[in-house]
Structure 1
Amino acid sequence: MERPGNRRRAVAATSGFAGMSEAISVEAGEHDPGLSLGHLKSTVKHGSIYALGMVLAKLVGFLMIPIYTHYLTPADYGILELLSMTVDIIAYLTGLGLTWAVIRYYYYYDDPEDKKAVVSTAAVLLVLLFGVSSALALPFASKIASLILGDPQYAHLVRLALLMLFVFAFLEIPLVFLRAKQDSVRFVILSLVRFTTALVLNILFLVVLGFGVSGVLYSTIISSALVGTYLMVSTLRETGIRFSPVIMKQLARYGTPLIAAEIGSFVLHYSDRYFLRVFDSLAAVGLYSLAYKLAFLMALFIANPFSQIWIPKVLEIERSEPERARPILRNIITHYNVVLVTAGLAVSLFAREVLMVMANSEFWAAAETVPLLCLGILFFGYRQISHVGPSIRERTDLIAAGVIVATVVVIGLNFLLIPRWGPFGAAMATATAFASEFIVVMLLSSRVYPLGYPIARLLRPLLFAIVVYALVEMSLPVEVSLLTALAIKSLGLVAFGLAVVTWEGLLPSLRTAGSEALSDVRRSLRRGG
């Protein structure tokens, strides 16, 4: 395998206060709307298409909320959440961080044959890893059910969850391959097919046949198996079936340190559910999970689509325009930050009204923890910014270090806060932990790749959003109709959006890049159709 000869070597790392001082500097010319417009357009284009795909996918879950809250109890909802978490943690432990590693080494090589070998090796390896893991765990289904759900009678649900894990192996690497190729249109189409199938099957198994929690698992397994089989076959047809021990070692070397990061990320996102199950109830897990689903809308619409294209775009920019990379990246980050904060404010403002419309009254209490969870998800979205340096310099250990620190924080706070305050304590622990992760990784990243992003500028929209949220909530009458509340909150959100975009000086570039990117998206969708 040929190593690219024009790979740029790492610039000497800046240490100590020098790196920190550069982290709050702004280079001249950064506000130029023409700066990095091409990269901004590309990021908006692919990010918008990924957002469409993710929204369509998650839309299934939200369309199912009225059905879930009618045919499932909060405790059933909690069981589904805990099973999903169990599948995730097994995947993290056994997956060797392959999804991260594929992106890195796909861009590492110039030779198309080497790129194909990276994808094929990872795809075959992940199927083997998940298959063996599921098979080994099956005999212990009763013990796993007792551990995570508190009752061995749920062993049959654990077995279905393990089958679901194996099926996911056929999806993971092919989907990463689409991301690496920036084939966002196909990504969206396949996501739509998968989750539309899941929606139909959910209605069949849950409403018509009355299978309860089992029905939801059946629909996920069948829809994922159908799309996963197609994806795996088409991927291997394009790459060929090949397995390179050399590439396997490279992937493992890069991805293995991220196992700790992924487990830590799992603990940050989901460990509070286990604490709630032990110190509260399965019903509390269900309510908190619904609140988290609402708060995660800002990740669904903004942070996750951005993350799909961000690191590939960072590596592309650093390689093609190394001298201009930092101001280009800062410009993109500024736009991302404003959109992310605006999304967080929107979710925080309208959470209660959404639940009143979509869920039974026994689920409305979930709205109380949404604003604090949105703060946590905001810092979760900021982690993409802190990953720039580690990704460019191949220092994934820095990401792992930040996650480890945040993991310690969240476990400690879960022990302290959840027994006393239940779901609200869990939300406080989550927000604090995500903030600590971002701060640690950002400081470490500035030593290996000083990005020079102004910290004050990053926090400015957030502080403004907090003020607007407080003012809107205080302006609401004690007895207020649904329509009046929606009108007042909408005015507050629109006022915030206009003010912050003007304040940050983003109108010219947003107008130009947004209109052109939307035209590109429409053309791409027409070609894809």
Structure 2
Amino acid sequence: MLKRIANLPTAVQHSLIYASAIALSKGLALIMVPVSTHFLTPEDYGRLDVLQTLADLLSIVIGMGLAETLFRFAGSADNEIEKRKASANIFGMAICLGTLALILGQLFAGPISRLLPGGIAELDTRLILASLSMVGTILIPLAWLRMSGMAWSYLIGTAGRVALQVAIAVPLLFMGFGVTGVLCATLASAILLCSWLIWKQLKDTGISFEFSRFKTYSIYGGPLIFVGISGFVLGSFDRWILADAVGTAEMAQYALAAKFGLITAVLIQPFDLWWHARRFSCLKEGDGKTRCAKIGSLGVVIAIIAALFIAAAGPTMVRLLTPSTYHESIAFIPWLAALAAVHNMTSTLAFGAMSENTTVRPAMIDGAAAIIALIAYLTLIPIFHAWGAIAATCLALGSRLAATYWVSQRSLKLPYQLRRLLFTGAIGVLCVSLISSAPLSWLVLLQNCGIIVGFIATATAAGLIPIPKKVLNMTAQLLNRS
């Protein structure tokens, strides 16, 4: 098996390894669902969710766009020495931010725990904040592994952390430590992974504290905090308004559909993990702009294919995994999968804007999109409920995609085949609307497979999916023989 993978093109090899890392991490995390729900009361599970939401928000601030900063400055370095120097300094910046986050987090853990809903214990707040302080210190070495093509090490790091977390959390839950046990497992696994990654990073690049560089990196990475917060608004805030407008029962249908729709992003992630780490270095190669445009266009097609797959498979997954009271969510899945694809396309086509020395313009675009979403949520959700949330998100993400493409092309003009991309995107929307959500049967399966294959054929005919030279040569030989 490993020999077969080694014979594949490097891009395919790394994408498969990243896909394995994601699959292992998600599979191991899935083990915790029945265990944690068995040992935690609903109130405890709710407290754990509150702390996780806090972690999601604060990780955006502490992370400070450091991974993208690494890709921008180390990836576009003129030589290997400068590449390693940039990486060493960004790693030093991550250490400084982590130390500051640890000190401030422990100082203000008491007030923060009292502000959180659900009666969160101060000890639990301290544990989650301590884990969060290592976000940047973990993020930078993992990004360096991706950028350096060390996909196997990345797999060991990401899947290994989840495995450690599960291995520690399960016995602690059995011993009755509850939420505190889960958080202790999170902290312990973070410390172990952080120690290993620090050792690897010091070995590869070392660490530097050239504070004159920190200003440049902050100008680039700082605005990405607002990008992350805007993403949080576009990704989660609609459920808060929906719960207030229609109650938690109807909101639960939408929330479940959103979870399945977001699997689209998981399917696209192997490509993103490979491409986002290498696009700046690819730009510096011969004919780099053309190659970047082709790979970016392929990323758009992959996003649409992932959305079509979830639109087809999601309804069956809901029917198999949930009771019939949740089956109303099926109607929302295709469109939420499509919106997840649009969100990903924006990240792919934002390369030009991300190639500048600052990320102010992407932050402004995302901030504007978040404002549009908030106004549309408040206007449409009370009237159209879940469909209003979908329409509002579509308006915000569509505007964001168009603005991002326009700004990116002004910053770095890449030779995208725009008409073909627009045509293929329109066909993708049509295919999503044609996907059947009916109970699984041979007819439904054939219909949905036919739609997906038809889209792939259309994208290939449009020249957006590259055909390997071996296939072309074999086809030419067969035609010559006939």
Q: TM-score range by the shorter chain?
A: 0.7 to 0.9
Query: How far apart are 1:442 and its partner, in Å?
Result: 0.9
Cα drift, residue 314 of structure 1:
2.5
Deviation at 1:439, TM superposition (A): 1.0
- Code of the residue aligned with 1:96 in structure 2: it is M
- For 1:44-83, list aligned pairs within 5 A: 44-62=12-30, 64=32, 80-83=48-51
Checking the alignment, whether the CA contact within 8 Å between 2:334 and 2:432 is kept in structure 1 is: no
Do the aligned residues in 1 keep the contact of 2:15 with 2:273 (CA within 8 Å)?
Answer: yes
| 83, 89, 92: which one aligns with 2:60 | 92
Aligned to 1:107: 75
CA distance in 1 between partners of 2:252 and 2:124 (Å):
17
Q: Counterpart amino acid of 2:91? A: S
CA distances 1:30-60 after superposition (whole Å, capped 9, x unpaired): xxxxxxxxxx954444333323322322233
CA distance in 1, matches of 2:429, 2:283: 35
Instruction: Check if 1:194 corresponds to 2:152.
Output: no
State the AA in 2 paired with 1:252: S
Given the superposition, is the C-alpha separation of residues 350 and 203 from structure 1 closer, same or farther in structure 2, using an over 3 Å criterion? farther
Q: Do the aligned partners of 1:333 and 1:385 also contact (CA within 8 Å) in 2? A: yes
Q: 1:237 to 1:327 in 2, by over 3 A?
A: closer
How far off is 1:276 after superposition? 4.1
The residue matched to 1:313 in structure 2 has which SS?
Answer: helix
- Matched with 2:97 is 126
Of the three residues 156, 170, 192, the one matched with 1:226 is 192
Pick from 222, 238, 242: which aligns with 1:256?
222
CA-to-aligned-CA distance 1:403-450 (integer Å, 9 cap, x gap): 011111111122223344444433333333222211111111222222
| Unpaired runs of at least 5, structure 1 | 1-39, 514-529
The 2-side partners of 1:297 and 1:370 are apart by 10
Asked if 2 retains the 8 angstrom alpha-carbon contact of 1:101 and 1:251, the reply is yes
Match of 2:112 in 1: 141
- TM norm structure 2: 0.82
Instruction: Give the aligned partner of residue 348 of structure 1.
Output: 311
TM-score normalised according to structure 1 size: 0.76
User: In the TM superposition, what are the counterparts of 1:250-329 in structure 2 within 5 Å?
Assistant: 250-279=216-245, 288-302=254-268, 304-321=269-286, 324-329=287-292
The answer to whether the aligner puts 1:162 opposite 2:133 as a matched pair is: no
TM-aligned CA distance change 1:108 to 1:340, over 3 Å: closer
In structure 2, do the counterparts of structure 1 residues 424 and 244 end up closer, same or farther at CA, with 3 Å as the change threshold? same
1:178 aligns with 2:141: no
Question: CA 1:301 to 1:74, structure 2 compared with 1: closer, same or farther past 3 Å?
Answer: farther
2: distance between equivalents of 1:426 and 1:97?
A: 28
What's the RMSD between the two structures over aligned residues?
3.4
Q: What letter matches 2:85 in structure 1?
A: D
Q: 1:310 to 1:466 in 2, by over 3 A?
A: same
**Quick one: structure 1 residues 245 and 204, their matched pair in 2 at CA, closer, same or farther if it must change by over 3 Å?**
same
2: CA distance between counterparts of 1:375 and 1:507? 19
Name 2:5's counterpart in structure 1.
none
- Do the aligned residues in 2 keep the contact of 1:294 with 1:351 (CA within 8 Å)? yes
Distance 2:53 2:261 in 1: 17
8 Å Cα contact 1:74/1:282 also seen in 2: no
- Counterpart code for 1:195: V
Please identify, of 151-160 and 325-334, the stretch whose mean Cα deviation from structure 2 is larger.
151-160
- DSSP 3-state at the match of 1:320: coil
8 Å contact from structure 1 (residues 387, 445) kept in 2: yes
Moved more, 284-293 or 219-228: 284-293
Shift of 1:347: 0.4
For the 8 Å contact 2:89–2:207, the answer to whether it is kept is no
Q: Is the 8 A contact 1:372 1:428 kept in 2?
A: no
Letter in 2 for 1:89: L
Q: Structure 1 residue 494: deviation in Å?
A: 4.8
Corresponding pairs, count: 461
Of 397-406 and 232-241, the range deviating more from structure 2: 232-241
